[in-house]
Amino acid sequence: MKKLMNTVAIVALLLTLAPAIAIPASAPDADAGFRPWYELQMMADPILDQTLLYYLGMSWQNMTDIGECLATAATVEAGDPAAWSRAWHATALRLERIGDDCRDQGHRISAGEAYLRAATYYTAALHRHPDPTAPDVRAWTAAAVNCFESAFTRLDLPVEAASIPYEGTALPGWFFRAPPGDGPAPTLIVQQGRDGWAEHCLGTALAAVRRGYNCLLFEGPGQGKVLRLQGLPFRPDWERVITPVVDWVVARPDVDPARVGLLGVSMGGALVPRAAAFEPRLKVCVANPGVVSWRDIVFGFIGSFDPRLTDLWRTDPAAFDAIIAQLSQDVPLLGWGIADTMWKHGAATPAAMMAALDAYTNEDILGLIDCRVLLMDGEADDFSQGAAMQAALGGRADRIVFTAGDTGLQHCQVGALAVSNQRLFDWLDGNLKPAR
């Protein structure tokens, strides 16, 4: 029994530390032959299986193609930590060459479409790279950046590159312009979380433009190219990131400064409430999912594996590191998850990682949020704390719960982006879009 409990705890911990994409839910009936649609069972690693679903879901945005994703996944060899990255890199190279051929032959749109998929596949290769210090990481990141730029300049998108001043450097982004209308438009700022890139939200940006919104996609510390090319890890005081972003947005003549909203996806659902508590210029804040305390999510899973670990990092960091090292040897996937989290938080040891994560809680600042809040939660999302967050915010918050019936029950509605965008923008139309 103890061995079984430890196995369950390892899986739960990995789902927290590794890419937070889709968490399998219990079957809705007792039929032993029933398998939910989101359990692909294509990969030996269940986390990679769910990450595959994430990239399959991007086909709805024309950022991937289903056959290309499935064919790539079929070449990933079980037990090889580098196999996932190698497979997706090969597909990215193939699509980039197709883009080059189409470009050279004068097929502008075809080139843009191929470059867009190539860029996404480069990010997929980096999603589970076994060594963040490897030269490949910077090289593939640069390739992704180049392919995204090549795609966006050829696909007739209403977009321009953004460079947002930030503490002596700049944060990259893309500003999507609303169609010309009667004066400055409402604007939605969109950010990813722990594993996503700004460009992964292209579908949200285009949905915004079609409805008369501007949309800024950007990356902050700990994310995408900012982490890999600029070396900036996550920080808990996320208002220090969002305030210069809002400064940049409201300085534009095509932005209505009284109608600015902020959307955070995945771990972004834990970051944006903190920003909203200290940035009064936000009219609305959307957390997908709603997270009161990211720290408690991570600490809870670690404690479920071994209760000593929840506090041991404080009382005896060396002993904590020794236990994590042993667990990482026994379960290589756990070792990768810990190392990846240390990298993204700028921590030199597992205990230092825990100390960094200790600051990621919104418990003490929810009362400072004055703007309207939307919480987007899936009934099968183990990272959602939306019910508790709504209770704390009271009448300031609305909550959408996605279910098996609308297929949006997974983390961030993976595989159900159409219904996710529909319900998001229907809410925004009533809370952000109306003129003053």
Kindly report, residue by residue over 30-85, the tens digit of the pLDDT.
456 788 998 888 988 888 888 999 999 999 999 999 999 999 999 999 889 899 99
Read off the tokens for 5. Answer: 């409990």
Do 136 and 162 belong to one domain? no
Q: Quick check: 370 pLDDT over 70?
A: yes
Q: Which of 117, 148, 179 is the last residue of a domain?
A: 148
Q: Which of 148, 174, 204 is the last residue of a domain?
A: 148
Q: Is residue 57 part of a domain?
A: yes
Kindly report, residue by residue over 256-275, the tens digit of the pLDDT.
999 999 999 999 999 999 99
Q: Is residue 135 part of a domain?
A: yes
Q: Is residue 324 part of a domain?
A: no
Residue 46 neighbours by CB under 8 Å, 6+ apart: 11, 24
- Residue % of the chain over a pLDDT of 90: 80
Q: Is residue 392 part of a domain?
A: yes
Sorting pLDDT into bands at 50, 70 and 90, what band is 25?
very low
Q: What is the pLDDT of residue 434?
A: 82
Q: Is residue 345 part of a domain?
A: no
Terminal CA-CA length for the chain:
61
- Cα distance between residue 225 and residue 426, in whole Å: 31
Q: Quick check: 6 pLDDT over 90?
A: no
Domain total of the chain? 2
Q: Is residue 25 part of a domain?
A: no
Sorting pLDDT into bands at 50, 70 and 90, what band is 19?
very low
Q: Quick check: 202 pLDDT over 90?
A: yes
Do 186 and 122 belong to one domain? no
Q: Is residue 161 part of a domain?
A: yes
Q: Quick check: 5 pLDDT over 70?
A: no
Give me the CATH number covering residue 419. Answer: 3.40.50.1820
Do 224 and 84 belong to one domain? no
Q: Quick check: 26 pLDDT over 90?
A: no
Sorting pLDDT into bands at 50, 70 and 90, what band is 8?
very low
Q: How many CB atoms lie within 10 A of CB 402?
A: 25
Do 96 and 161 belong to one domain? no
Q: Per-residue pLDDT averaged across 105-131, rounded?
A: 97
Kindly report, residue by residue over 311-320, the tens digit of the pLDDT.
999 999 999 9
Kindly report, residue by residue over 327-356, the tens digit of the pLDDT.
888 878 778 889 999 999 999 999 999 999
Do 118 and 173 belong to one domain? no
Q: How many CB atoms lie within 10 A of CB 70?
A: 13
Kindly report, residue by residue over 120-169, the tens digit of the pLDDT.
999 999 999 999 999 999 999 999 999 999 999 999 999 999 999 999 99
Do 43 and 186 belong to one domain? no
Do 230 and 176 belong to one domain? yes
Do 100 and 184 belong to one domain? no
- Residue % of the chain over a pLDDT of 70: 92
Q: What is the pLDDT of residue 301?
A: 79
Give me the CATH number covering residue 44. Answer: 1.20.1440.110
Do 213 and 122 belong to one domain? no
Q: Quick check: 95 pLDDT over 60?
A: yes
Do 219 and 283 belong to one domain? yes
Q: What is the pLDDT of residue 7?
A: 42
Q: What is the pLDDT of residue 12?
A: 45
Q: What is the pLDDT of residue 3?
A: 41
Domain containing residue 53: 2-20+37-148
Kindly report, residue by residue over 393-430, the tens digit of the pLDDT.
999 999 999 999 999 999 999 999 999 999 999 999 99
Read off the tokens for 164. Answer: 């947002």
* More reliable by pLDDT, 9 or 202: 202
Do 385 and 272 belong to one domain? yes
Q: Which of 96, 124, 148 is the last residue of a domain?
A: 148
Q: Is residue 32 part of a domain?
A: no
Do 273 and 407 belong to one domain? yes
